[in-house]
Chains A and B, each alone.
Chain A
Amino acid sequence: MTHIVEIADVTKRYGDANAVNQLTVTVDQPGIHGLLGRNGAGKTTLMKLVAGHLKPTSGEVRINGEACSPQRMSRSVSFVESRASQFNMGASSLLRAAHQLHNDFDDEFARTMLSKFELDPKKKYKRLSFGMQTMVSTIIGLAINTDVVMLDEPSLGFDVVMRRRFIDLLRESLDRHPRIILVSTHQMDDIARVADHLLVIDAGTLRARAPMSDIASQFASADDYFLSVLEGSTDE
C-alpha cells in the first residue's frame, strides 16, 4: 500500500548523537496532526527529513510512494521552518512570488488571511514583528496547497489573540483543502483545540500517537497526555 507519508526505520545522526533514531511511522489521514516533543526531541529534524531538506543516515522517507531526499525533494510537501527568513519585501509581493512559483497557490485564501490577521501587505518583511513574520510564512505555506504541509513551532512569537486566530487559520485551510497538516509545538493546549491526532516523539523515537478524540476521553488536557507518555504509562 502506498502511504502519503511513510518514514521507514529512519535514523539521522549528527556526530555521535541520534536526532532521529530508527523512527517508523506512516501518516495517511487528512487532518491536523500535532507533533509534540520536548526541546531537542527531534521534531524539527523529523520535519526536515520529510521535507527532503536532510538525508537520512539510514532508512527511507517516502512521500506518495516516492523516496524523498535532498536529491529528490517532493513537490507534494511544503515546510515552514521556525524563524524562516524570507526576502525583505512586502507580504503582498511575497504572496505574488509564491503564486508565480505555484499554480495551485490559493491566492484568495492567502489574501483573505492577510487581511484577517491585519497584516500590512506593503510593510517590508524585516519590519514585521516576529509573530507577524511567522504568520506570513505560515499563510504562504498553507496556500501552496501541497498534500502535506508542515509547520515547525508556528505559534512561537504569537500573542494570545494571534494564537486563537492561528487555530482558525489552520481549520479554515483544512476545510478548503483537506490534506495532512503536521504542526510541531510546545503550546499543547493550543494544538489540542484544533488537532485531529497527536504524535509524541522523544529522543528521536515515536513514543505514542492517538486520535484527539481518544485523548480527550482519557485525559484532562494535552499536557497530561504528553506527561503520561513521557512517564511511560501511555504507549502507542
Chain B
Amino acid sequence: MSTAVEVTGEQPDSVAAVATQRYYRRFAPIERVMHALLMLTFVGCALTGMPLLFSDQAWAAALARLVGGFETTTLIHHLCAVVMITVFVAHVIRLCYRALESGNALGMLWGQDSMVPQPQDIVDIWLHFKWFVGKGPRPQFGRWTYWEKFDYWAVFWGMFIIGGSGLLLWFPVFFANFLPGWMFNIATLVHGEEALLAVGFIFTFHFFNGHLRPEKFPMDTVIFSGVIPEHELVDERPVEYARLVREGRLEAIAAPAPARGALLFGWVVGGTALALGVLTVVLILYSLVLWRPRGGRGLFAAVGRSPFPAGPPGRVGPRSSTRLATMT
C-alpha cells in the first residue's frame, strides 16, 4: 500500500494556500463530545486516583489535600467514573445501532473503516520503524493508523479492567455476595497497575502521537473541531485520501473551517488536560526514580526518640527560664 499513491508533494504549502484551505470531516459531533467527556473524566480520575497509588509520596498527600481531602477525592473519582462508564456504554450502543442501521456490520469488523487491527497494520509498524532508522520511505497510512487503533483498544480493555475492578472496590460488600475474597485483592492490584498503565500511556504516548510530535506540536485540534485540513489528509493519510477520491466521496465530507468555539475549547480545555497530564507524568517519574521500600522502616526507630515529629512549638509554662542565671 505504501507504493500505491504518490500525492505527498502536491499539497499547497504557501501561507495564502493555507488561508484558503479546504477541510474535510473526520469526527462526528457526538464523537467529539465523547472524546471531550472521556478526556475530562480521565483527567479527573487520574488526579484523584494517583495520590492513592503513590500514597507514600509527599506530593500525593499534598494533591489529595488540594483537591479537598479523602471524601472529596473519592466523590470526584466516583463521579468521573460514572460519566466515563456511561460514555463507554453509549459508545457500544451506538456501535450496535450503526451496525444494524448500515446493514454492514462486517465493514465495521474488517477493512479500512474498521478499528479492528488488519494485516496491513503489522506491515505499517515494520515500515514505520524502517523509516525511523532511515531505511525506507514514510509508510502511507489509511483512515486509522495502528497507534490510533492501539489507543482505541487500550481504552476498550481498560474500561473492563479498571471499570470492572473499580466497581468491585466501590461496592465490595455487594459483590462479595457472589465473588470470593481474593478477587478484591486482585481488583486492588489491577485497578492501580492498569490505571498507572493508562495514565502513563495517555499522558505520554497518546499525547506524543496525537499532539506533541514535531509534525503536530503543540496540538492537533481535529478531535475538537472534527475537521482535518486537506493538506494533512493528503500528507498523513494518503491511502484514505486516494480511496475517498477513487470512490467519489471526498466532496461529500467537505466541511467548513473549524468553528471558533471548538478550537477555543481545544486550546483551553484540551491544553489544560495536556498540561495536567504532563505534570502527572512528571510526578510519577519523580516517584519511581525516588522509590523507597514501603513500611516506614526505621523512621522513628532510634531508641529514646519521640515517635512524633516535633509539633508546633508550644508554651513551656509561665515560669520558664526565669531563674536560669542562678542555676550554676
- B and A form one assembly: no
Query: A-contacting residues of B (Cβ < 8 Å)?
Result: none
Query: B-contacting residues of A (Cβ < 8 Å)?
Result: none
